[in-house]
Structure 1
Amino acid sequence: MTELNEENFFLRRVAEVLMAHDGSKLHRFCIIVPSRQAGDWFLRHLRKLARRPGLTPLVITLPELFEDMSGLCRADSLESLFLLYEEYRKLTAAVEPFDRFRFWGEMILNDFDEIDRFNVDSRDLFTNVKRLREIATDYLTDGQRKAISFYWPSAARDLQPVSDRMWLHLYPDGDSSFKRLWEILSPLYAGFQKRLRNLGAATYGMFLRDALRRVTAEGESCLKFDRYVFIGFDMLATNEVAFMSILQNLGRADFYWKVNSPVFRNPDSHAAHYVRHFVDIFPSRYELVEDEITTFPEIEIVGCASRDAQARMAAQCLAKWNVDSDDGCDTALVLTDTAMLSPVVDSVGSAYPMSINVGVSLRDTPIANLMRCITRLHTHSRLNAEGIPAFFREDIRLLAAGSLLQAVEPEGCRKLLAFVANSRSFALASSEINEAVPELSKLFVHLKDNDFDAIFKYLEELVAFLTERCVHIDGAFRDRLYLESLDRSLKRLKSSLSRYNIDVRETTALYMLERLTLRETVSLRGKRLEGVQILGIGDTRALDFNNVAILTMNEKVFPRRGSRKSFIPDVIRKSFGLPPSRTDENRAAYLFYSLIARARRVSIYYDTRKGRSGGDASRYILQLLYLANPDKLRFVRGSFKPESFSTDLISVSKKSPEIIDALNSYRMLEPNDPQARFLSASALNTYIGCQLKFYLENICGLYQEEFRENYVDAGMYGSIVHRAFELLYNEARGNRKSVTVDSALIDRWLDPSMRKIDKALEDALRELYYNSDDVSKKVQRGETMMLMTVMRKILKNVLIAERASAPFEFICAEKLVKHRWTLNDDISVNIKMFIDRIDRRNGHLVFVDYKTGDESLSFDSVGELFDNSGKKRPKGIMQLLLYSSVYSQFRPSECDNGIEPQLYRLRSFSRPALEPITYNGSPLTDTRPLLEEFNAEMSKVIEELFDLDVPFRQSETDKECKFCSFKQLCNRNPRQY
């Protein structure tokens, strides 16, 4: 094990001086430290300095000291909130529901605790608050109010800001029996404290007042120790200072302050403003022997593009620092945001032992997301027409995609996501869900609003189900702790709601439990002083490390911005000696500079993304630019891009055996061979546009997974219209080889009373969108009803346009052709195509292709179809000419009278007119004269495809990249698209 260089650590120096002067008496001392971590480190130093085993002093935190002197127990935060609400209900007839009162109640509890900690006379304070609020909310005369009410009756109630209306507790009926909230703060404070004391409980502020009263009244007789040594504190409340002053006057106190830093030496620095003041009034009994720190350590500042990147870079930093893989406790990973815990632990993995000493808020864990999804699922649920509970598809999808549920029941989540994707209903019945995914049936039950027991039974069974599954999952230790905390919160909530007789509806209980998960904190305590120390920034007071990595050093994260929620305005807070409502940034500065002062190496990570907690580096990073020696300061851009990144075009050689075999399967094997591959019009269009994309899709078999939207997107829209046409024409043809489509047949289709078009559209929707063959399933509702109107108009306009060219013969739809296509004596390839529709008009074939996009209908040369340098290559025309070339070989006798290509741009049928394809400005009614030139151009493409000396190259232009699934794999920057 590496011997730590601890000689300059602050706690080591304090331990040395106490051992030197009072070593034999230390067991009669009480050592008060800012945190348990500081206490563990102090005892470690004492044991190392002790020459022989002996008794050690009591090492505790400040709250533990005052709790012991008070004789009361710490009040549970949830219990306190319910007690406050009960007292509130006694004092006013304007009783808010508990779920609305909760926010204000937590604010009041914080104010009450501050009043006790800062020794404020509550009656005087609330009297001033009352007077100030009366001035702020009652500035209009009676005459002015009457005039406003006369001319603008609806505005009379809105004269005050929303926050003032909450203060006023005014209701439209103006009942004078409703008390204003700020009028009852003083009796509410007194009643709340009385109730707590009757239960033998107290808040921290109450502990402090009791301890101060006791030591003032009893003097030394109430003190259990010869000396109380306060080590490493920074900001102190008024009553804490008063308590220390009494002990100092009794000669029973000693103080040691951590102020050795190049920043703290500057008298104008706000970082140690409060601490310098305490150094003056509470001097140390013994002088610490240490050199003055005048320079900063080596500091590396790393900007990363994500939280995960920060965690990975910090893990790599441990290896760079040569951290001891057997111990490593001289190294700290400090979290300014506890949401970073999971990424950090996962990144460090098993490479180093870790001691996790972080209080993690459940809002930063997967539990909180799960509870949000559960709450959303049930608050949005409704009974369907059959009286069966139904849940919204998006709520189900979010629940199944959550990381915790995915971890405990991956197969069930996969099946549930597939079930949601295959269903086009906006609300899914619980019976259908549970039949498809029985593994998750516990989630999808109906909860009645007033069935208190059923609601909590559901939640308890859910937690038990998740906990039981976590037991069998490796690495789910943290999740089990989080679930145990959730289970405790649930039991406390249920017990308190019953005991205080508070009405609960389904939404209230679920929302309250969700809020509980956001406010609960889980203390993760590993084997202290063993392994890399993972700490919250607030737990680093009085501690030092050789190596320090600080994560998420961004503005709004550290220091945190925003006002402390309080009922007491700043002007009154200042007058009564309370801290300002805005978060005090001096403390954050002290924590930061105190932590890095004695370190050897420091790495600071911040998120470079723009957003709520990213983009702007913390002010302390900017301050280091001016304070630190430039030779010891280094900026790094954290990145995981390939080092060989370049703007050169990517190319892939065709000479690997796998690629050669894949290419040969397109031409060497017969179409009926199961190993044969087939080129298609789409694949050849892809090759002409970007050979690299062709390689990824057709050689490697990579395709972006299709994501089915919850609405009818452009692709689905075109498929439904296309399928509706197919159903109409196939029904008319029946089992015959073809059918004559005349004006009379089209008129029958257009007749609203016969509902032919509506039935075809409904069947197409049912089949393609809802994935159902149940003809009783209703499809005309909501969004689909509006789309039916649009699609119905398109079908009508196309049919009216086709009636003008009737009669014609409909032969088939969705014609599948697999053929060995011969372009010349040297080139033959397997080709597969689906022709949307084949008609015969005036003796010649017509190939109809339906398009939803804005396809070009004109071209001036065959070469234009193969030229990708232009603005927009006519891909649809190229496809139809390919169909013509292949079909003329596949069924030559059917093509003797010509092949006419026809593109139906469905979105252009706002009026009933067919637009022909034009070649050199004239309608193209027969493709045969162009096929020789087309085949020659296509031969060049096919020859290049099979030329092993020509690699698959990336497109020279970026116009193909906008909607490409592979743009993130290329050197093209996807953000510009």
Structure 2
Amino acid sequence: MVSFLNDVIVDLQKKNADFSQLTFVLPSKRAGVFLKNQISNHLNKTIFAPKILSIEEFIETLSDLKYANNTELLFEFYKVYLSHTPKDQIEPFDTFSKWAQMLLQDFNEIDRYLVSPNHIFDYLNAIKEIEHQHWSLEENQTPYVKNYLSFWNRLKLFYTEFSNQLIKNKKGYQGLVYKEAIENLEQFIDTQDNETYVFIGFNALNKAEEIIIQELLQQNIASIYWDIDASFVKDQIHDAGLFIRAHKSQWHYFNNEDFNWLSNYYNSEKKINCIGAPKNIGQIKYVGELLSDLKQQNATLENTAIVLGDESLLIPLLNSIPKNIGPINITMGLPLSSIPMASLFESLFRLHKSSTTKFYHKDVITILSNQFIKPLFNTENDNISDYINSEIQQNNISYLTIDHLKTLAGTKSEIIKLLFETWQNNSKIALEQCAKLILELKNVLDQNKQNNLLALEYLYRFNVVFNELNTLNNTYSYINNISVLFGLYKEILKNETLDFKGEPLKGLQIMGMLESRVLDFETVILTSVNEGILPAGKSNSSFIPFDVKLENSMPTYKEKDAVYTYHFYRLLQRAKDIHIIYNTEPDVLNGGEKSRFITQLEIDKTHNIKHNLVSPKVPITECNLIEISKSSEIIDELKRYSKSGFSPSALTNYIRNPLAFYYEKILGIKQYEDVEESVALNTLGTIIHNTLEDFYKPIEGQILTLEIISEMVSKIDDTVSHHFKTEYKQGDITKGKNLIIYKIAKHYILNFLKLESKDIKEGNTIKILAIETKNEVPIDIDGLEFPIILTGKVDRVDIYNGITRIIDYKSGRVEQNKVEIVNWEDISSDYDKYSKSFQILMYAYMMYKQKKIVLPVEAGIISFKKLSSGFIKFGKKASKGTRTKDNIITEETLIAFEIELKKLISEICDPNINFIEKDV
């Protein structure tokens, strides 16, 4: 492949150009490296290197102004805004900055295209008055109407004063620099002696650039080389040639001079593959596979480029590149906002945006768990941040004060102070605290410097960012709160990058679309070729309406689309192996359907395009349930557990899923405990149980009376509050959902006591026998030679009109059919239907074996979500579908249950029966 830059150098050699006297002007700095390499390859003698400038650098030399960055421009503009806006209409800086960015872009476009500011601003003002004519003619205009119309009146004044102020300070935005360059052009030409300017690879030029280049051409101190294929220029409707066709026909210079040049590379044979891949990550993973294939064909991947249509995919791409690819050069920098340290400072800003004295626990944990913060809390034996996080979770602390955090931190309280002490909504304090934090982080990272080089580089870049913020804060008085500072921080971070080191001319090249200008590659991999990305499509972030832009020859989205069209086709011109990848499943934020560029390639039929759709390989795998064989260690653990006691909940947990029983009871794995922001159902159940235990335990052996119940009712508030504090610890129940749950707990208990009162008033006698009585019963099972203990607490045992009842409280809803059984074999196999029957029968069995009750008895459930059903009795049905059932538990009932119970425990302890996961 012969590159465009190679053709330019060869042509200049034919013309016997003195390279030492040339100044090359390129669309971007990036192309300068490749140009310098081409010059060194073609010249066989030592010379002084020619100057190589980007177009922005060249224009800057013509004007006496320096480019100001976006943040600096905002502050200077705000100074003008304050001086020329009535005090009652002045907006704070953070509000101003939101619309000022757009207005600055309009100022830039006006100057770049040399539009008369007086004309366009008067025109805009007239349009607004016509649009809102009924406003402008009203005699009694509201303050809002007056402010709105006066804003448009002041735009011309803003522009003039802002431009004058920048010129006075020898600074400017791009358009102003270009405008000043035009003013100085004649003087610049007069000072040129032997120097010649060579403009290379330009396409879309603004009005200022056109005038400057044309004037230099007319004065014979410049030449220009266009990089365009003849087929795009000849085709009068092809957008790739839109601008160059206009230059060729409208520039007087080309009436007498040759047009350098129209190439014919595009029609040469090319291998074009168009690949659709699902989602962004699907595209990038396919690129990784493609690189592996290309590596086998070309050991060095020379003349290969990956051009990212969506530059945010750089990190996923780097993680998808095969390890054996060799040298890689990345033209674009890694945005600072993408690196891990950015999340730390963002978390701090969000925490301190409000001057609250209490911090939400998740915000605290996010900061304390940050990978850069945790080392600050290291001690000889442990890490204090882990201890604080554990205390927050175990004590259900939703909100914390700095004093509480200091107490928890102990010897590391100074670090807590550094992180959480209020910034008082003061930007100076905020920057001081961030600077101190950066210093602390540096001291820790320096202790193991060799392993923390990358983290130290991150830290250095953030130190630069905060130094810049500090300079702005000291220079201007507008950063008057944390919200403004945070907005500036994000704005600066957006433009800061961490640059990669690589071999610019070796191996695989990774770049964005704009970095590809002037450069040519044999193999091109182009990603994210979707509408909304390539091309970017319509965007209207401007105060200047579309029709006004058309009238004043300013660019619209149509011209911007033509720019992307040129870049796309220019990449294809000299390439031989092209891979165009698009997202088959785009969403609203990531572009639309496949790009019109792909459709245009298909319609042109210049090249044979192969289409493929790719998707991740999804192997068909059987869903194998986990199976754990019972080793000698597991059997030993089972023996230990059997001695401590099988509870009804443990046995029903085994019925539900044997693997869950294994994890919890054998391995001792507990569920992760997070902060209970809202009271959990099991916590609510515990509180209800404990409250009723407090009420009924003192009257064991007594007959329940209305007086006793009345005394219980009077204690509801205090007792429920006490148990909420005990179980929910430091969780807040004074507001929100928790307050509702607190009220529900009291409501449940009050309704239960009303139910008891109703029973007594109806003449029923209730004698309390036992409350929360603990049972431990040995059981002999054939084949098991080690002791087996059954254990469990029964919520309540009473005598109701002479019948003994075993009662289990449930805070949830329980239906009658959940405590009925037909076939005894089902009780140890179907958790959903029979777990509650299993529990109450096991309670009855244990109490019978301990001779605490005399058969027959009744057993059942009181459901607090269904108190209207009263005591829901266990029942044994003769057959499925029958309505009649036996609610009395006799010795025969317990013998039948015992058979199933022993069978279940035998299965658990049998070394030949594995723990097998249930497919639930």
Aligned partner of 1:767 among 726, 735, 738: 726
Alignment match, 2:49: 56
Q: Is 1:916–2:873 an aligned residue pair? A: yes
- Conserved? CA contact 1:226–1:252, under 8 Å: yes
Q: Is 1:721–2:694 an aligned residue pair? A: no
- Residues 620-650 of structure 1: CA distance to partner in whole angstroms, max 9, x if unpaired? 56666667877733221135x5x233xx552
Q: Is 1:664–2:641 an aligned residue pair? A: no
- Conserved? CA contact 1:827–1:943, under 8 Å: no
Distance of 2:507 and 2:7 partners within structure 1: 23
Alignment match, 1:454: 429
Segment drifting more, 761-770 vs 357-366:
357-366
Aligned-pair distance for 1:422?
A: 3.4
Distance of 1:581 and 1:408 partners within structure 2: 51
Aligned-pair distance for 1:459?
A: 3.0
Superposition RMSD in Å: 4.2
Aligned-pair distance for 1:707?
A: 3.8
From the superposition, tell whether residues 703 and 265 of structure 1 become closer, same or farther in structure 2 (CA, over 3 Å): farther
Aligned-pair distance for 1:766?
A: 1.6
Q: Is 1:376–2:350 an aligned residue pair? A: yes
- Residues 178-205 of structure 1: CA distance to partner in whole angstroms, max 9, x if unpaired? x822211112112111111221212221
Q: Is 1:490–2:448 an aligned residue pair? A: no
From the superposition, tell whether residues 948 and 92 of structure 1 become closer, same or farther in structure 2 (CA, over 3 Å): same
- Residues 544-602 of structure 1: CA distance to partner in whole angstroms, max 9, x if unpaired? 33444445555544444552422212221111111126893333333334335515253
From the superposition, tell whether residues 415 and 743 of structure 1 become closer, same or farther in structure 2 (CA, over 3 Å): same
Aligned-pair distance for 1:249?
A: 1.8
- Residues 215-255 of structure 1: CA distance to partner in whole angstroms, max 9, x if unpaired? 2x236434476432222333221111222211222233333
- The 5 Å alignment of 1:622-701 reads 632-638=610-616, 641=618, 643-645=619-621, 648-652=622-626, 659-661=630-632, 664-665=635-636, 671-672=642-643, 681-682=648-649, 684-689=651-656
Alignment match, 2:163: 193
Distance of 2:81 and 2:599 partners within structure 1: 48
- Residues 721-753 of structure 1: CA distance to partner in whole angstroms, max 9, x if unpaired? 3343344445x37xxxx564622574255333x
- Conserved? CA contact 1:111–1:568, under 8 Å: yes
From the superposition, tell whether residues 184 and 289 of structure 1 become closer, same or farther in structure 2 (CA, over 3 Å): closer
Segment drifting more, 354-363 vs 319-328:
319-328
Alignment match, 2:865: 907
Alignment match, 2:589: 612
- Residues 822-875 of structure 1: CA distance to partner in whole angstroms, max 9, x if unpaired? 4555798956654352424357462514242556544241458449789x5232
Alignment match, 2:123: 128
From the superposition, tell whether residues 68 and 473 of structure 1 become closer, same or farther in structure 2 (CA, over 3 Å): same
From the superposition, tell whether residues 526 and 718 of structure 1 become closer, same or farther in structure 2 (CA, over 3 Å): farther
Segment drifting more, 569-578 vs 899-908:
899-908
- Residues 118-159 of structure 1: CA distance to partner in whole angstroms, max 9, x if unpaired? 11111111110111111223335867x87xx9xxxxxx77xx
Distance of 2:768 and 2:826 partners within structure 1: 30
Aligned-pair distance for 1:681?
A: 4.4
From the superposition, tell whether residues 219 and 786 of structure 1 become closer, same or farther in structure 2 (CA, over 3 Å): closer
Distance of 1:837 and 1:188 partners within structure 2: 79
- Conserved? CA contact 2:182–2:208, under 8 Å: yes
- Residues 592-625 of structure 1: CA distance to partner in whole angstroms, max 9, x if unpaired? 3433551525363648474533785555566666
- Conserved? CA contact 1:563–1:581, under 8 Å: yes
Aligned partner of 1:228 among 184, 188, 197: 197
| Structure ranking higher in helix proportion | 2
Q: Is 1:751–2:713 an aligned residue pair? A: yes
Alignment match, 1:14: 8
- The 5 Å alignment of 1:183-582 reads 183-215=153-185, 217-218=186-187, 220-223=189-192, 226-260=195-229, 267-278=236-247, 287=261, 291-294=265-268, 296-299=270-273, 301=275, 303-304=277-278, 307=281, 311-322=284-295, 328=301, 330-348=303-321, 352-366=326-340, 368-382=342-356, 389-400=357-368, 414-437=386-409, 438=412, 439-449=415-425, 451=426, 453-466=428-441, 468-469=443-444, 472=448, 480=456, 483-502=459-478, 504-518=480-494, 520=496, 524=500, 526-561=502-537, 563-580=539-556
Distance of 1:341 and 1:404 partners within structure 2: 23
Alignment match, 2:744: 790
From the superposition, tell whether residues 915 and 52 of structure 1 become closer, same or farther in structure 2 (CA, over 3 Å): same
- Residues 368-420 of structure 1: CA distance to partner in whole angstroms, max 9, x if unpaired? 544442232123342xxxxxx22233433444566765798795654454344
From the superposition, tell whether residues 669 and 370 of structure 1 become closer, same or farther in structure 2 (CA, over 3 Å): closer
TM-score (norm 2): 0.84
From the superposition, tell whether residues 140 and 60 of structure 1 become closer, same or farther in structure 2 (CA, over 3 Å): closer
Q: Which amino acid aligns with 1:724?
A: T
Distance of 1:518 and 1:821 partners within structure 2: 71
- Conserved? CA contact 1:899–1:927, under 8 Å: yes
- Conserved? CA contact 1:13–1:288, under 8 Å: no
Alignment match, 1:974: none
Distance of 2:678 and 2:46 partners within structure 1: 74
Equivalent position SS for 1:811: strand
Equivalent position SS for 2:871: coil
From the superposition, tell whether residues 561 and 786 of structure 1 become closer, same or farther in structure 2 (CA, over 3 Å): farther
From the superposition, tell whether residues 457 and 914 of structure 1 become closer, same or farther in structure 2 (CA, over 3 Å): same
Q: Which amino acid aligns with 2:35?
A: F
Alignment match, 1:934: 897
Alignment match, 2:880: none
Distance of 2:601 and 2:893 partners within structure 1: 73
Q: How many residues align?
A: 887
TM-score (norm 1): 0.80
Q: Which amino acid aligns with 1:427?
A: Y
Alignment match, 1:72: 65
Distance of 1:51 and 1:467 partners within structure 2: 50
Equivalent position SS for 1:55: coil
Equivalent position SS for 2:44: coil
Aligned-pair distance for 1:304?
A: 4.5
Segment drifting more, 425-434 vs 290-299:
290-299
- Conserved? CA contact 1:862–1:934, under 8 Å: no
Distance of 2:611 and 2:595 partners within structure 1: 16
- Residues 416-469 of structure 1: CA distance to partner in whole angstroms, max 9, x if unpaired? 5434433444431111123324344411002224x5532332232234444555
Distance of 2:544 and 2:171 partners within structure 1: 25
Distance of 2:516 and 2:890 partners within structure 1: 80
- Conserved? CA contact 1:667–1:830, under 8 Å: no
Which consecutive residues of structure 2, in runs of 5 or more, have no partner in the other structure?
878-882
